[in-house]
């Protein structure tokens, strides 16, 4: 991993979690790149939901817009 460059500008990241039908479940902003990018078949928890990642797609625009990761998940259950 490279050392952070104090002069480099990071484009914010946004994670959009959607269900198998494309319904939006959660949106998480990650301006400092602190969150890992989910992998296919990974079990994750967001809020009180446990999910399996089915796919991850990324869209990038111009350098001034956030990088958007669309994470399609299968919801397993709610965590009590």
Q: What residue ranges do the domains of the chain occupy? A: 13-78
pLDDT at 8 over 70: no
Mean pLDDT of 53-65: 88
pLDDT at 13 over 80: yes
Q: What is the pTM of this model?
A: 0.80
Q: How many other C-beta atoms are found inside a 10 Å radius of the C-beta of residue 10?
A: 12
User: Which of the two residues, 18 and 7, has the higher pLDDT score?
Assistant: 18
Q: Which two tokens stand for residue 46?
A: 């967001």
Mean pLDDT of 68-80: 86
């Amino acid at each position: 991993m490279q050392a952070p460059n104090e002069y480099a500008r990071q484009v914010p990241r946004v994670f959009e979690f959607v269900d198998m039908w494309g319904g939006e479940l959660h949106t998480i902003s990650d301006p400092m790149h602190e969150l890992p990018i989910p992998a296919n078949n990974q079990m994750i928890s967001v809020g009180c939901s446990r999910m399996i990642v089915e796919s991850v797609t990324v869209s990038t625009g111009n350098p001034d817009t956030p990088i958007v990761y669309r994470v399609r998940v299968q919801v397993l259950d709610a965590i009590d």
